[in-house]
Structure formats: structure tokens, C-alpha cells
Amino acid sequence: MKVSKESIVAQIYEDWGEKPQSQICIVLLNYLTHLPKGKHYHITFGSLKVVIGNSYTNTDLLKAIQYLCGDRTRLLDTNFELLEDERAVPLSHSDIEIAQATGELIHPKTGYTVKNFEEKVSLYFVPSSLTENII
């Protein structure tokens, strides 16, 4: 389903008004719509911070990212990975849900418990399927 960029911008302003998140979301919307389609992306908080510049706080950016990952707009999808020995092992959302519930992360390849997993798990973002349908 195609969606217009203008309708997304209108929705952002409807939800955020004149708060900083409106401007952050629009900057990130423009960034996402200018990425070449069909490629795999690994977008970090740090890279989004670079995109918006130094005019906003980390808290403002976090709120905007949470909004862009939410059901109302869904421009970003979240992914997780386990960083070990300079390698990244993809984690499923259920891996993370179980780890949060039990306090233990089971390595998806070895089946062993990952010690101090909170320090080794990284969150990153990818453009959602909706971003490919923005006109």
C-alpha cells in the first residue's frame, strides 16, 4: 500500500505538534526515503544522532525513534545482535523477550548461556517495509 510523505508529515505534526520530536521525525523520514531501496541497512542510534546533528538531546531522539518504531508510523523496525569476538550473531525478538523474562540469554547457535548478555547485545534499526512504499 502506497502512502504519501505529506500524510506522514501531517500525522507527525498531529501527534507531536511543535515539540522537537516533530522536526527529528521529519529529518529521519527524509533520511529514510533517500536511502537506496532494496539494500540491507544496519542503522544505529549513533548514526541517527549524526543524521539529526547536535541540535537535539539524546532523550528527544530516543522519543522520536520510539515513535518511528511504533504502530502508528512504523518507519523503523528494530533488530538485535549479540556481539562476540568481533562478530555479530543475529538474535530474534523472542530471544530477547525470553532473556528479559528469565535474566538469561541462550546463545542461538551454541545453546549455552551468555554471561553478562546485557553488555553484549546491541540494538539496531532497519527501514520498515512502509518506507519502500512512500511516494
Helix (H) or strand (E) holding 98: helix 93-102
CA dihedral 45, 131, 24, 18 (to 10 degrees): -150
Phi-psi region of 11 (alpha: psi -120 to 50; beta: other; left: phi over 0): alpha
**pLDDT over 90 at 58, yes or no:** yes
Cα–Cα distance for residue pair 93/90, rounded to 1 Å: 10
Contact 11, 130 (CB under 8 A): no
Instruction: Encode pLDDT of 61-115 as tens digits.
Output: 999 999 999 999 999 999 999 998 889 999 999 999 999 999 999 999 999 999 9
pTM for this model (two decimals): 0.89
Instruction: Encode pLDDT of 21-38 as tens digits.
Output: 999 999 999 999 999 987
Question: Which residues in 79-110 are b (16+ Cβ under 10 Å) and which e?
Answer: bbbbeeeeeebebeeebbeebeeeeebeeeee
CA distance between the termini of the chain: 10
